Amino acid sequence: MKKLIALFIVIVMSVTFVACSNNTEEAGNKATDETATNTPVENEDVNMTIAVNAEIISLDPHDISDTLSGSATSTMYESLYDYKLDMSLEPVLATGYDVSEDGLEYTFYIREGVTFHDGTPLNAEAVKYNFDRVSNKEKNLKRRRNLLHVVSTEVIDEYTLLVKLDAPFAPMLNRIASIKIISPAALEKYGDKGIITNPVGTGPYVFEEWTPGDKMVVRTNENYWREGPKIDTLTFKPVTENGARIAMLQTGDADFIYPMPTEQVKAVEGDKNIEVIEGPSTIARFTFLNMSKEIFSDVRVRQAINYAIDKKAYAKVVKSGYAVPLTSHVPSTITYHVAQPEYEYNLEKAKKLMAEAGYPNGFKTHIWAPNDTENMKGMQFISQQLSKIGIEVEVVPMEEGTLSDSIYKAKTPEESTVNMWYVSWSAFDFDGATAKLFHSANIPPTAPNVSYYMNPKADELIEAGAIEVDPEKRAKIYAELQEIIWNDAPWIFLGSDVLLSAKRSTTEGIFVDPSGGIIATQAATSK
């Protein structure tokens, strides 16, 4: 201890001595010393880094619900079918499927010659093992919600699997696409928790390391069954601070960033090494209007509000220009989307509707959303716009947990205290983008139909659409449904995001799909 103190005093003495005797150089040395130690370890590997805005929560592909963990697991795992960039489905670990006429039996033909990273082969048995794991009620895995209609799975032969449903379910293939296939041998070996940190799949990359909260590194799978990436390793790095993420791209510490903060596009515009990539999304941005509340019970008020919002200004101010107006309750990237006549920005019309509804002088209300800057910006914008038709909107940012508590604690519409909720929703298929938000059975606390939209006709169409296996008939049902919802205006229809990512100009083969998933199967770099 004494020695420590002595050493310490010596250091301080020398510093004061230097400072006393020579007052020109005080600081500055430290910096150069530190950079000297910063010589990167020579590494033969070609690595690419993707900086993302959140942390990877888990690497168990069956027990995640966030997009980013989905992207991360997608580097190592694959499913029977998967989405292409245009949101259509293509066979991956399956080669095809049949569906029985009653829509209750699906037969999947599994791709031959594919092996897991641990060397075990992919076959029908392995897929069954995975489906059974996901369906297990005891395990309560997050993906189970996608297989609720599955009653049983049967192995027909080595590469054929039969899946039986309890009721016809039109988006079944979309749900199957969400189930990634894990090596059964690895699951046996590591267990349900151990698999989180020891992923073994069939994907283009093999797991290398993951520090929860920090980066995940994967290495190119040499034995990938199709053409894979042209790099050695790929790193996912969570960088929550927007400015920091861009700085990484500017300095070359990152090869690809997602999301590219919309506000910052101008900042990188002049940089030749950086390309900003725009893409459509499945994300709808809107505001629930709680129809069980007196003020929003009149359709004219809800329409007036929609007329009073300048959607172009919304895109410009809130999304820095990177949003397109919503033309239905689902974004145009969702199959069966039909564009509806626009609620154009028309204050006169809005005021007239308000007056007709008995609110010539408007009313007071409040809007809720999480307390991050982006959501707060959206809320403020709505508040500013509605003030022009006399509606005084108090902006109430809430911490996310509190917000969900405040919304779901209401057992009945009468108990609900929410007035407006500024929110976004993203789904892969029409049913996913509709049922939970508009079916009368899905009002809180069951699900987020926070508009308390209860229209029997809409309920009927939602149910019919879900079991209609014929695409044409389905399209008709959904076209009618969209028109009804649009005219009832249970939401303020604001916009659909344009997804922004940015890459170094050397980066190739990394894409963001409309759901926000990062696809790096073909990653390559010329750096």
* Range 282-321, binding another protein (CB under 8 A): 310, 313, 316-317
Nearest to 218 by CA among 226, 227, 228: 228
Dig out the tokens for 29 from the structure: 């040395």
Q: In what order do the strands lie in the sheet with 94-99?
A: 94-99, 105-110, 160-165, 150-157
Dig out the tokens for 337 from the structure: 């989307």
- Considering only 9, 85, 167, 339, the residue that binds another protein (CB under 8 A) is 9
Nearer to another protein, 34 or 414 (CB): 34
Dig out the tokens for 198 from the structure: 């020891």
Nearer to another protein, 158 or 372 (CB): 372
Nearest-angstrom CA–CA distance, 79 and 322? 31
If binding is defined by CB under 8 A, does position 453 make contact with another protein? no
- Considering only 241, 278, 342, 356, the residue that binds another protein (CB under 8 A) is 241
If binding is defined by CB under 8 A, does position 2 make contact with another protein? yes
- Considering only 40, 113, 270, 456, the residue that binds another protein (CB under 8 A) is 40
Kindly identify the residues of this chain, within the stretch 148-177, that bind another protein according to CB under 8 A.
Answer: 148
Nearest-angstrom CA–CA distance, 499 and 516? 7
If binding is defined by CB under 8 A, does position 189 make contact with another protein? no
Residue at token pair 């809430």: 398
Q: Which helix (H) or strand (E) holds 493?
A: strand 491-504
Nearer to another protein, 100 or 404 (CB): 404
If binding is defined by CB under 8 A, does position 381 make contact with another protein? yes
Across-strand partners of 256?
50, 503
Dig out the tokens for 140 from the structure: 């309560």
Nearer to another protein, 189 or 457 (CB): 189
- Considering only 115, 377, 413, 479, the residue that binds another protein (CB under 8 A) is 377
Site string for another protein, 403-422 (x = CB under 8 A): -xxx-x--------------
Kindly identify the residues of this chain, within the stretch 423-442, that bind another protein according to CB under 8 A.
Answer: 425, 432, 436
Only one of the segments 212-220, 351-359, 475-483, 517-525 lies at the binding site for another protein (rule: CB under 8 A); that segment is: 212-220
Residue 228 · residue 221 · CB < 8 Å:
yes
Nearest-angstrom CA–CA distance, 456 and 157? 45
- Considering only 144, 351, 439, 503, the residue that binds another protein (CB under 8 A) is 144
Nearest-angstrom CA–CA distance, 468 and 477? 9
3-class secondary-structure state, position 186: helix
Cα 20–chain centre separation: 58
Question: Omega before 445 cis (within 30°)?
Answer: yes
Nearer to another protein, 398 or 467 (CB): 398
If binding is defined by CB under 8 A, does position 273 make contact with another protein? no
What type of residue is 378?
G
Nearer to another protein, 194 or 358 (CB): 194
Across-strand partners of 207?
218
- Considering only 162, 267, 338, 475, the residue that binds another protein (CB under 8 A) is 267
- Considering only 306, 383, 419, 521, the residue that binds another protein (CB under 8 A) is 383
- Considering only 3, 22, 44, 213, the residue that binds another protein (CB under 8 A) is 213
Only one of the segments 76-84, 156-164, 293-301, 401-409 lies at the binding site for another protein (rule: CB under 8 A); that segment is: 401-409
Residue 37 · residue 30 · CB < 8 Å:
no
Nearest-angstrom CA–CA distance, 400 and 404? 6
- Considering only 162, 277, 355, 398, the residue that binds another protein (CB under 8 A) is 398
Dig out the tokens for 217 from the structure: 């590194």
Nearest-angstrom CA–CA distance, 280 and 424? 15
Kindly identify the residues of this chain, within the stretch 54-73, that bind another protein according to CB under 8 A.
Answer: 55, 57-58, 60, 63, 65-66
Distances (CA, A) of 450 to 123, 437, 457: 43, 7, 18
- Considering only 7, 15, 151, 156, the residue that binds another protein (CB under 8 A) is 15
Only one of the segments 37-45, 346-354, 475-483, 517-525 lies at the binding site for another protein (rule: CB under 8 A); that segment is: 37-45
Nearest-angstrom CA–CA distance, 148 and 126? 20
Nearer to another protein, 356 or 372 (CB): 372
- Considering only 401, 456, 472, 526, the residue that binds another protein (CB under 8 A) is 401
If binding is defined by CB under 8 A, does position 1 make contact with another protein? yes
Residue 249 · residue 342 · CB < 8 Å:
no
- Considering only 327, 335, 365, 380, the residue that binds another protein (CB under 8 A) is 380
* Smallest separation, CB 427 to another protein (Å): 8
Give start and end residues of each alpha helix (H) in 371-446: 373-386, 400-408, 435-438
Across-strand partners of 107?
98, 162
If binding is defined by CB under 8 A, does position 16 make contact with another protein? yes
* Smallest separation, CB 344 to another protein (Å): 17
- Considering only 373, 412, 487, 505, the residue that binds another protein (CB under 8 A) is 373
Residue at token pair 């149910």: 463
Nearer to another protein, 294 or 415 (CB): 415
Nearest-angstrom CA–CA distance, 300 and 289? 12
- Considering only 3, 22, 24, 38, the residue that binds another protein (CB under 8 A) is 38
Dig out the tokens for 56 from the structure: 């990877």
- Considering only 3, 43, 88, 137, the residue that binds another protein (CB under 8 A) is 137
Kindly identify the residues of this chain, within the stretch 66-125, that bind another protein according to CB under 8 A.
Answer: 66
b/e per residue, 112-121, with b = 16+ CB within 10 A? eebebbeeeb
Nearer to another protein, 45 or 157 (CB): 45
* Smallest separation, CB 180 to another protein (Å): 16
